[in-house]
Chain A
Amino acid sequence: MGDAMSAITGTTVHAGEVLLTLDRLHKRYPNGVEAVRSISMEVRRGEVFGLVGPNGAGKSTLLKLIAGLLRPEQGTVLMEGVDVTGRPVEAARRIGLMPDPLGVYTDVSCREYLVFFARVHGIPGDAESPAFKRVVDLLGLLPWLDAEVESLSAGWQRRLALGRMLLLDAPLLLLDEPAAGLDIQARSALLEIVRNLRELGRTVVISSHILPELESLADRFGIMNAGQWVDILPGQSFIGRQALKQGLGGCRWRIGCEAADAALGVLTKAGIRAAVLADGGIEFSAACERLASDILRDLLLAGIRVNDFRRLDTGLADVALSVLKGGQPV
């Protein structure tokens, strides 16, 4: 798979170079809804950027604006320094979009589908061409080439759509909910392909509701709500995967004990803000492990029988939920 990927991603990767720049993009739909409000961002070459947000946050609109399918009222989209704002033909030479929902042609086989899009992109439309074969090998489409696209499962249809984009060999891929409606196996297979693209330096902007998988895939995240970026940390709209793993507001811990009120008293005395959970457990944040161990010692010295004491991982879902509620990251 690796060789096939290398051949497909033939473009030279200059990690760190800014590939995509969005400058104060603003989009209002004819019905008056402001779907995107002054969105600015930069995506670097070789990066996978994760777009997170509730339904109606403006993620799909933002991706369509980048692909030139929508024209913003204000702002610009620069791709490799070229202004592609509202210019789908110009954008299409550099950007591949997998929209959601994904439409398929009826009465067309997978082979015809790929050959058609190869012809659309000016690639020799021969099913025997090296580019075609590499995409088919990469995506495992060989057994399905003569099957009608319509008859494929949602997972295979998405693979096929990805094949269309890989044929194009665009430097930037926009994936709008690529795993929506897929079963665990299909989702895992599709995300594995995207992961390989990331390892080989392809630049991907991906929006997804499946946050644990997005978390393992993306290098940076931005959370959108009501058409705007939500600050994840004060004054900071984006967060890296590593920073997310290390815990944004300190590490979270959980204590299980019978005397919850007494334990809460010990924590308050130590100046720690804690919350009692529905199951009687207590959750708190500690800036470092040393502080957590001091708290455990205090609890034991206070005669409280502790039957559970563990560190909780901070996930993207926790962070997203927390900041969307208007609070600081957990």
Chain B
Amino acid sequence: MSLTREQIESIAHLARLELNVTEIPVYQESLSRILDFVGELERADTSGIEPMSHPLPGLSQRLRPDVVTEEDRRELYQANAPRVEAGLYIVPKVIE
């Protein structure tokens, strides 16, 4: 498996990662090798096997009561925000 430069660029775009020109060939090489490496999985016979998305089988989702437990802590939470105005998180203009 050998990923092209375009494939790396499209993955990086999907993941919203800016890569500089020197990074692209590095990831091209290492991701290709990783995909070869994990390609080994093909060897396993998994016919009839259920995929496992959780390590403890048989457990099911717990439900919480519909109760409001939170109060306004905006000031505290927004202390970490890069930019806030009038209680809003500010980003560059979103064009729809």
- Say whether A associates with B: no
B residues in contact (CB < 8 Å) with A: none
A residues in contact (CB < 8 Å) with B: none
